[in-house]
């Protein structure tokens, strides 16, 4: 079945497509099934992130609020966001103002948000990693010239309309490419589980061909992303349907 058909079947007959919370969950599955690949309940919904600033699970969020955009304003350019290789979940603004999704691990300069002061920050591992790379970035490359922004630091820049976009672009024109505070958390479980357990094959997910938004596992229970329309056997919660 396709991923969506499998999800519907599992929801009717069982609880949902399979969710895994630990290696123990996986060990409970017996090895040696006869499939090559089977669907599990993990999805990276392209409707939620392909340029849409909506309110769905995988949508883009502003760091300053940890929420999706209030206005829906965006300035994506050049075919982005494309999740390049399944690894691009943070956003830079290019020297002409266009937004592009890139790997959160890149070292870049950044732009801070000088609006209403907030003390809340994302506490996900994702965001901590991003913050770490930002501070490495500033210590290596921005000893001078950038302190003005840091003084009023409350969070990374948030841009919710064309005027804010224009203001920011003129402020950082001489710097070139900068981080803005837009990020997303990829991959959510069909049953809305908050499990952060992942068991990807090495170098996966790779979003091969730019359209792999559903997760499958091999007979060793290692995961790869695949096109949701592929017809594969699947796992429901607590039961195995092969």
Interface with Ca ion by CB under 5 A: which residues?
A: 80, 82, 84, 88, 101, 206, 208, 212, 224-225
CB of 50 closer than 8 Å to CB of 44: no
Least distance to Ca ion, CB of residue 82, Å: 5
Least distance to Ca ion, CB of residue 207, Å: 7
Which residues make beta-bridge pairs with 224?
Answer: 216
Least distance to Ca ion, CB of residue 114, Å: 27
Least distance to Ca ion, CB of residue 14, Å: 26
Q: Which is nearer to Ca ion, 98 or 115 (CB)?
A: 98
Q: Which is nearer to Ca ion, 169 or 215 (CB)?
A: 215
Torsion of the alpha carbons at 133, 169, 65 and 155, rounded to the nearest 10 = 50
Q: Which is nearer to Ca ion, 14 or 37 (CB)?
A: 37
Distances (CA, A) of 121 to 44, 112, 196, 201: 23, 14, 18, 31
Q: Which is nearer to Ca ion, 9 or 37 (CB)?
A: 37
Q: Which is nearer to Ca ion, 16 or 230 (CB)?
A: 230
Least distance to Ca ion, CB of residue 218, Å: 11
CA gap 152, 61 in Å, rounded: 21
Q: Which is nearer to Ca ion, 142 or 208 (CB)?
A: 208
Scored b (16 or more CB within 10 A) or e, 130-150 reads bbebbeebbeeebeeebeebe
Cα–Cα nearest to 209, from 86, 30, 78: 86
CA gap 107, 130 in Å, rounded: 9
CA gap 86, 204 in Å, rounded: 8
Least distance to Ca ion, CB of residue 205, Å: 6
């Amino acid at each position: 079945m396709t991923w969506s058909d499998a999800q519907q079947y599992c929801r009717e007959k069982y609880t949902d497509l399979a969710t895994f919370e630990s290696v123990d969950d996986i060990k409970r599955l017996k090895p040696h099934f006869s499939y090559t690949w089977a669907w599990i309940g993990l999805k990276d919904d392209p409707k939620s992130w392909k340029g849409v600033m909506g309110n769905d699970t995988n949508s883009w969020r502003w760091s300053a609020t940890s929420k999706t955009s209030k206005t829906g304003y965006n300035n994506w350019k050049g075919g982005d966001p494309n999740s390049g290789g399944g690894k691009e979940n943070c956003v830079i603004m290019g020297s002409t103002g266009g937004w592009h999704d890139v790997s959160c691990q890149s070292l870049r300069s950044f732009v801070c948000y000088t609006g209403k002061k907030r003390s809340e920050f994302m506490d996900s591992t994702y965001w901590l990693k991003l913050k770490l790379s930002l501070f490495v970035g500033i210590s290596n490359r921005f000893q001078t010239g950038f302190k003005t922004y840091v003084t009023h630091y409350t969070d990374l820049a948030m841009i919710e309309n064309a005027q804010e976009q224009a203001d920011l672009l003129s402020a950082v024109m001489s710097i070139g490419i900068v981080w803005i505070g837009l990020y997303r958390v990829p991959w959510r479980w069909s049953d809305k589980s908050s499990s952060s357990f992942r068991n990807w094959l090495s170098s996966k997910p790779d979003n091969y061909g730019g359209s792999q938004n559903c997760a499958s596992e091999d007979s060793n229970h290692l995961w790869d992303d695949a096109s949701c329309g592929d017809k594969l056997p699947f796992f429901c919660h607590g039961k195995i349907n092969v």
